[in-house]
Amino acid sequence: MPALKIAHKTIKGNDEEDADTPVASSDHRKRFCVFITTKEDCMRLQTAAIHTGVDKDSAFNSVITPIYQTSTFRFDSVGQTKGYDYSRTANPTRKALEQNLTALEGGAGSSAVATGMAAITVALHLFRTGDHIICTHDCYGGTERLLRTYQELFGLAVTYVDMTDLGAVEASVRPETKALWIETPSNPLLNIVDIRALCAIAKKQSALAIVDNTFLSPYNQRPFELGADLIVHSTTKYLNGHSDVVGGAIIAKTQELAERLQYLTNALGQGASPFDCWLVLRGIKTLVPRMKEHEHNAAIVAKFLSEHPNVQRVYYPGLKNHPHHELARRQQYGFGGMVSFEVKGGIREANHVLGSTKVFTLAESLGGIESLIEHPASMSHASMKPDLREKAGINERVIRLSVGIEDSQDLVDDLDQALKSVLPSKHTATKIAVGA
């Protein structure tokens, strides 16, 4: 495959425009281009998702990237290889996935690793004892658990801040602050934070701006356009999209950071297996059509929930009365397929809904073609310290939906029957504004 060059522009119809300013999220036609330097061909995002990283088989010219399921590679002679010697260090199938992810996010290089948590682990090894990280207060529970572990074992300092409050973020900066850990939309409450403003704060401190882009994927959000230095993914989720593999990735904006991440991935033994990389690469080929359907269904589900008498609150940035709706429109290219809501009542009512759905499957994870329902306080965020969970607003009434690509009417009907069967507790809260 020829070397890839990421163009700093987007395409809308036949017009080229500056890529530094995202457009309204409803306009999915506007996508950056990837150039093949030997041909100067321009590929839009959907084309790049399908074709980038494919050309690996010079022996038989296979259309799909082969699975190089080997631990080691034969040397041509002492000190002479065809670019690979041992699969922990590098593998052609993994390299294909890394090229693809780098192209889609518009970075300089990437590392494909075994899990999403492995991606966070590798990124955290950029820091030393005494370094300070500012993290969004409503981050994924596993992220908080790992940060807490690094605090205890290695003396990393971490401050959790509501990043919707830029003043609070600036007030938390110390001389030893080395990174801002940004997660937007947040998990599970789908708060949106201003990536560009947060990156400016990080840059002023000469700190790294790290963005977890798992919830939106490069189809709906491209943090490098907004000033980020690193992008983290759980490729298990939307990038793979089929709930049949776990994986992660870290994409770097600069070649220097990319080389450091490759070194750490090899040294820590975190590289993804060839077969897992092939599965993710296969999933990415349908990323664009899947994301369109995820968002279409999520918008319908969110509207339905906002009008249901047994729903207390809905969290979905695509709703116009979501407090961060306008910010989401400015910095995202879409609203995604995740919806959370609070059921009226308490834990009994929440458990009833969780146990009553027939199309939505009660399970952790997200981003697959099938719809999932889960209870963050006892499932995805159970490992989070209770005081941090409470501060973030993740209460026992919150239910998170990963809206799949089934028929939207079946999804609405399923939630309707589950919610209608709830017998509210004696003291049921009064319904408040949707998206508040």
Active site residues: 88, 140, 212, 237
Comparing CA positions, the residue from 362, 384, 387 lying closest to residue 372 is: 362
Report the C-alpha gap between 281 and 64 in whole angstroms.
10
What is each CA distance from 234 to 121, 197, 217, 261, 362, in whole angstroms? 12, 24, 10, 16, 20
Q: Are strands 177-183 and 132-136 parallel, antiparallel or unpaired?
A: parallel
Distance of CA 225 to the CA centre of its chain: 16
- Is the CB of residue 170 less than 8 Å from the CB of residue 194? no
Report the C-alpha gap between 59 and 392 in whole angstroms.
54
Backbone angles phi, psi at 383, to 5 degrees: -80, -10
Please give the DSSP secondary-structure letter assigned to residue 80: B
Report the C-alpha gap between 339 and 299 in whole angstroms.
9
H/E element, 141: helix 141-154
Q: 139: number of CA atoms within 13 Å, CB side?
A: 29
Dig out the tokens for 331 from the structure.
């910095």
Query: In this structure, which amino acid lies at residue 331?
Result: Q
Comparing CA positions, the residue from 184, 216, 136, 190 lying closest to residue 435 is: 190
Comparing CA positions, the residue from 1, 95, 86, 65 lying closest to residue 39 is: 1
DSSP 163-174: TT-HHHHHHH--
Dig out the tokens for 57 from the structure.
């088989």
Comparing CA positions, the residue from 344, 349, 352, 321 lying closest to residue 430 is: 344
Comparing CA positions, the residue from 372, 399, 235 lying closest to residue 294 is: 372
Dig out the tokens for 109 from the structure.
């290089």
Put the strands of the sheet holding 15-18 in their side by side order.
Answer: 15-18, 4-12, 31-36, 41-43
